[in-house]
Structure 1
Amino acid sequence: MLIRSVPFLFVLLWSTGFIGARYALPWIEPFNLLFIRMLITLVVFLLLILVLRARWPSPREAGHQMVVGLLIHAIYLGGVFVAIKLALPAGVTALVVGLQPLLTALLARIGLGQTLRWQQWLGLLAGLVGVSLVLGSGLLGQTFEVHPAALLAVIISLFSISVGTLYQKRFGGQTDLLTGSFYQYLSTALCMALLAYGFETREVIWHSDLVLALLWLVFGLSVSAILLLMLMIRLGEVSRVASYFYLVPPLTAIEAWWLFDEQLNGLALLGILVTVTGVYLALKQPRSSSQAGVEK
Structure 2
Amino acid sequence: MSPPSPPSSSAPSPATSSATSPVRSTFGDVLPLLFVAVWSTGFIGAKFGLPDAEPLTFLSWRYAAVIVLMLPVVLLLRAPWPASRAACGHIAVTGLLVHGVYLGGVFTAISHGLPAGITALVVGLQPLVTALGARAFLGERIGRMQWVGLALGFVGVGLVVAQKVATVAGAAVLTMLVPAVIALLGITAGTLYQKKFCPSFDLRTGSIIQFVPTLIATVAVAAMTETLQVRWTGHFVFALAWLVLVLSIGAVSLLNLLIRRGSAVNVASLFYLTPPTTALIAWALFGETLTGLSMVGMALAAVGVWLARRVSGK
Deviation by residue 1:64-110 (Cα, 9 ceiling, x = unmatched): 11111111110111112222233322211110110000110110011
Matched to 2:117, the amino acid is G
Cα distance change, pair 186–136 in 1 and its aligned pair in 2 (3 A): same
Distance 2:199 2:50 in 1: 35
Structure 1 position 222 matched with structure 2 position 248? yes
Paired with 1:191 and 1:68, the residues of 2 have a C-alpha distance of 13
Q: 1:30 to 1:242 in 2, by over 3 A?
A: same
Letter in 2 for 1:27: D
Compare 138-147 and 90-99 and name the one that shifted more. Answer: 138-147
**Residue in structure 2 matched with residue 76 of structure 1 by the alignment:** 102
Q: Does 1:39 align with 2:39?
A: no
Q: Which has the larger radius of gyration?
A: 2
Aligned 8 A contact 1:68 1:164 in 2: yes
Q: Percent identity?
A: 47
Structure 2 CA distance for aligned equivalents of residues 54 and 150 of structure 1: 42
1:106 and 2:96 aligned: no
Give deviations 1:95-137, integer Å, cap 9, x for gaps.
Answer: 0110000110110011111011111111110000000000112
Which of 20, 37, 48 is 1:12 aligned to?
Answer: 37
Q: CA deviation at 1:216?
A: 0.9
Alignment of 1:210 with 2:210, yes or no, is no
Instruction: Specify the SS of the correspondent of 2:252.
Output: helix
Taking structure 1 as reference, are residues 144 and 255 closer, same or farther at Cα in structure 2, changes over 3 Å only?
farther
In the other structure, the counterpart of 1:293 is: none
- Bigger Cα displacement from structure 2, 268-277 vs 195-204: 195-204
What RMSD in Å do the two structures reach over aligned CA positions? 1.6
SS of alignment partner, residue 81 of structure 2:
coil
Check 1:141–1:84 CA distance in 2 against 1; reply closer, same or farther (3 A cut): closer
Amino acid at match of 1:5: V
Per-residue CA deviation, residues 159-188 of structure 1 (Å, 9 max, x unaligned), is 111111011011113432221221111111
1:278: which partner in 2?
304
The separation in 2 between residues aligned to 1:97 and 1:274, in whole angstroms, is 17
Instruction: Judge conservation of contact 1:88–1:146 (CA < 8 Å) in 2.
Output: no
> Structure 1 residues 34 and 141, CA, compared in 2 at 3 Å: closer, same or farther?
closer
Contact 1:19/1:252 (CA < 8 Å) preserved in 2?
Answer: no
1:118-129 equivalence runs, <5 A: 118-129=144-155
Q: Which residue of 2 aligns with 1:115?
A: 141
- What is the alpha-carbon distance in structure 2 between the residues aligned to residue 148 and residue 118 of structure 1? 33
Quick one: distance in 1 between partners of 2:197 and 2:312?
Answer: 28
- Given that 2:146 and 2:311 are in contact with CA atoms closer than 8 Å, whether structure 1 keeps it comes out as no
How many angstroms apart in 2 are the aligned matches of 1:132 and 1:83?
18
* C-alpha separation in 2, matches of 1:96 and 1:144: 17
Equivalent residue number for residue 165 of structure 1: 191
- Aligned pairs for 1:173-184 (under 5 A) are 173-184=199-210
Structure 1 residues 241, 286: CA separation in 2 closer, same or farther (over 3 Å shift)? closer
- So what's the TM-score if we normalise by structure 2? 0.87
Q: CA deviation at 1:149?
A: 3.7
* Count of matched residue pairs: 287
**Which residue of 2 is the match for residue 249 of structure 1?**
275
Please say if residues 99 and 158 of structure 1, whose CA atoms lie closer than 8 Å, have aligned partners that are also in contact. yes
Give the corresponding residue for 1:291: none
1:92 aligns with 2:118: yes
Confirm or deny: 8 A CA contact 2:109 2:119 kept in the other structure: yes
Match of 1:134 in 2: 160
SS for the counterpart of 1:139 is helix
* Structure 2 segments unaligned to the other structure (5+ residues): 1-25
